[in-house]
Amino acid sequence: MSSAATETTAKPTVTVLDYGSGNVRSAVRALERAGAEVTLSAKPEDVLTADGLVVPGVGAFGSVMAELKAVDALRMIGRRVAGGRPVLGICVGMQVLFEAGVEHGLQSEGMGEWPGTVELLPAEVVPHMGWNTVTAPEGSMLFEGVEAERFYFVHSYGVQKWDFEVLQPKMRPPMVTWSEHGAPFIAAVENGPLCATQFHPEKSGDAGARLLRNWVLSLSKSASTQAAH
């Protein structure tokens, strides 16, 4: 087989960031089923060179930030985003991409990739646990083919306001997907190489599997574009 054919059929490589977050095996298995070659690691060579990086997260915002800092993940995630290398955050792995999180009256600093504060959902029942619909924007890459489907959420906190300022006229603003529990909250963001979901695609049945396939397929396109340049 020629090297060109091998490159065409090679699976995209994905590293699931192993920084201490629990229950990551389901994400690894789901990504493998989506067509990726998956590594669970926090080694810089794995995090920085993979076609895609998945940042999972469960628990408290502040604790996840501390665990990410402990493995130098903030720098590595920043390097990937700056270089146009795809990153997907899941659940608290999405929340830490915002400016701050407030839990039990304590505010923790986030990564600041997007404006906004993660706050307690104003609902009669929290956590928001179970299946819910989303409102995806037209042209969404992640939600192609599953725009009307339901996804599985487990969280008490979320970003309820989006105030993103486009600084350059030619800059494409992020695509924001919303859901609702007590109030509207951000369910997903697509911002060039940086994507994230508040729900768990790996626990969202066929709809989540399709979303992960959409993301994994985008890695092949991203790698081809970078190779061309």
200 counts as catalytic: yes
Residue range 139-152, pLDDT digits in tens: 999 999 999 999 99
Active-site residue identified among 67, 149, 190, 202: 202
What is the DSSP-derived secondary structure letter of residue 135? B
Domains and CATH numbers, the chain: 3-221 (3.40.50.880)
Give me the residues paired with residue 53 across strands. Answer: 15, 87
- CA dist., res. 201 & res. 7, Å (int): 28
Quickly list H helices, the chain: 3-9, 25-33, 44-49, 61-70, 73-82, 92-95, 205-228
Cα within 13 Å of Cα(107), Cβ side:
6
Residues 6+ apart with CB under 8 A from 63: none
The pTM assigned to this predicted structure is 0.92
- CA dist., res. 38 & res. 73, Å (int): 18
Residues 6+ apart with CB under 8 A from 88: 52, 53, 54, 55, 195, 196, 197, 215
138 counts as catalytic: no
Residue range 104-128, pLDDT digits in tens: 889 999 999 999 999 999 999 999 9
Sign of the four-CA dihedral 216, 220, 226, 227: positive
Active-site residue identified among 91, 119, 149, 190: 91
- CA dist., res. 145 & res. 80, Å (int): 28
Note whether 113 and 106 are within 8 A (CB): no
- CA dist., res. 85 & res. 78, Å (int): 10
**Coil vs helix vs strand at 126:** coil
| Long-range contacts formed by 31-35: CB under 8 A, 24+ apart | 31/202, 31/212, 31/216, 33/209, 33/212, 34/209, 34/212, 34/213, 34/215, 34/216, 35/11, 35/213, 35/216, 35/217
Residue range 30-45, pLDDT digits in tens: 999 999 999 999 999 9
Across residues 160-174, what is the average pLDDT? 81
Q: Which of 7-11, 46-50, 68-72, 156-160 has the lowest mean pLDDT?
A: 7-11
91 counts as catalytic: yes
**Coil vs helix vs strand at 223:** helix
Q: Which of 6-10, 26-30, 103-107, 135-139 has the lowest mean pLDDT?
A: 6-10
pLDDT value at residue 221 = 73
Active-site residue identified among 128, 155, 181, 200: 200
